[in-house]
């Protein structure tokens, strides 16, 4: 596995302190006969893997779910290009196929010789894992469903070409990284850094669930359609008494159009100066040059002068 990890090309930017990198070092040391202190290093990696599995509701084969998660969240020029149109002709496809061959090797890596030599069984446990039953509000259900479906497809893939088609189709259908796998966000400031934090379980309300506001829903849909198509669209001012469906309309619009690239970022009044956040990482734009369009719902509280609640949209 160490050689496969070291020979990645397109996905070479996977963090050096990732679970994959740490287990790669472990397998290299084991192959070289350096077994001292390997067990604590293995347990540390397994601990991190269990934490990730808990946050995203992984089950059955946590190792394969983890590798699928890496493929789904690692932003590369290749994955970012595929999220707009899927696979396209080009020399980069040959390099991608090279990396997918290596991922296939790691996906089916046999940990049993290491377990037997070190007298441990943790790899057997994580590759035949039965998660504790828990409510979906306790983990990121949206990411979990997408990644586990991808993991199942990759486990059944019979060739590198099948891998290529599955992964590029995933990027086309769902996107990649923070913006691809999540649909709703909030701004979070840590010291001087502002970042997007996913809302792990956004409301599932749909437009058909909202009764008695047909004309309002239609106007929202028409404006959102224009917004997503890049045509002139209006900012939105939603007003009305508490409980009349303002927030529910925004949530329902998100659920209606998320698959077409709509994303929502919740911004409170005191966070307005932070709206220039660049998104998933400090050097990658959050969506303006990608396949997403974002809206910024404003703070729900009424203004002091009695003005109604507002929801503002921006490209």
Mind listing the pLDDT tens digit for each residue in 206-260? Answer: 988 988 888 989 999 999 999 888 898 888 888 888 888 888 998 999 999 888 8
Using 50, 70 and 90 to split pLDDT, how confident is the model at 123? very high
Q: What is the pTM of this model?
A: 0.78
- Return the pLDDT at 311: 37
CA atoms within 13 A on the CB side of 111: 22
Instruction: Determine contact, residues 39/61, Cβ cutoff 8 Å.
Output: no
pLDDT cut 90: percent of the chain above it: 45
Using 50, 70 and 90 to split pLDDT, how confident is the model at 132? confident
- Return the pLDDT at 296: 54
Domain residues of the chain, as ranges?
2-180, 182-313
10 alpha carbon, distance to own chain's centre: 19
Q: In the predicted model, what is the mean pLDDT of residues 45-68?
A: 94
Give 70-103 pLDDT, tens digit per residue. 999 999 999 999 987 888 888 999 999 999 999 9
Per-residue pLDDT for 288 more than 60? no
Per-residue pLDDT for 12 more than 80? yes
Per-residue pLDDT for 294 more than 60? no
CA atoms within 13 A on the CB side of 191: 1
Per-residue pLDDT for 189 more than 90? no
Give 160-186 pLDDT, tens digit per residue. 999 999 999 999 988 898 888 888 888
What are 163's two structure tokens? 């891998």
Q: Is 7 left (phi over 0), alpha (psi -120 to 50) or beta?
A: alpha
């Amino acid at each position: 596995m160490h050689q496969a990890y070291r020979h990645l090309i397109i996905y070479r930017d996977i963090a050096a302190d990732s679970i994959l990198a740490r287990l790669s070092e472990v397998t290299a040391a084991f192959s070289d006969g350096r077994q001292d202190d390997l067990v604590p290093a293995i347990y540390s990696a397994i601990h991190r893997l269990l934490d990730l599995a808990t946050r995203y509701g992984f089950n059955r084969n946590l190792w394969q779910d983890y590798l699928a998660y890496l493929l789904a969240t690692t932003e590369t020029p290749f994955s970012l290009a595929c999220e707009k149109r899927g696979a396209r002709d080009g020399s980069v496809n040959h390099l991608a196929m090279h990396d997918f061959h290596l991922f296939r090797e790691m996906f089916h890596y046999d940990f049993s010789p290491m377990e037997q030599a070190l007298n441990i069984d943790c790899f057997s446990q994580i590759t035949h894992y039965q998660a504790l039953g828990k409510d979906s509000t306790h983990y990121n259900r949206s990411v979990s469903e997408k990644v586990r479906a991808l993991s199942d497809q990759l486990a059944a893939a019979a060739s590198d070409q099948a891998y290529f088609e599955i992964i590029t189709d995933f990027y086309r259908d769902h996107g990649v990284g923070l913006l691809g796998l999540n649909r709703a966000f909030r701004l979070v400031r840590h010291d001087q850094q502002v970042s997007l934090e996913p809302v792990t379980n956004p409301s599932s309300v749909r437009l058909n669930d909202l009764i008695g506001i047909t004309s309002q829903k239609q106007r929202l849909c028409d404006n959102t359609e224009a917004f997503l198509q890049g045509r002139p669209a209006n900012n939105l001012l939603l007003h009305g008494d508490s409980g009349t469906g303002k927030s529910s309309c925004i949530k329902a619009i998100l659920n209606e159009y998320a698959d077409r690239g709509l994303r929502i970022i919740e911004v409170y009044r005191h966070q307005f100066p932070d709206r220039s956040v660049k998104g998933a990482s400090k050097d990658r734009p959050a969506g303006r040059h990608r396949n997403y369009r974002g809206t910024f719902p404003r703070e729900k509280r009424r203004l002091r002068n009695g003005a109604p609640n507002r929801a503002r949209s921006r490209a």
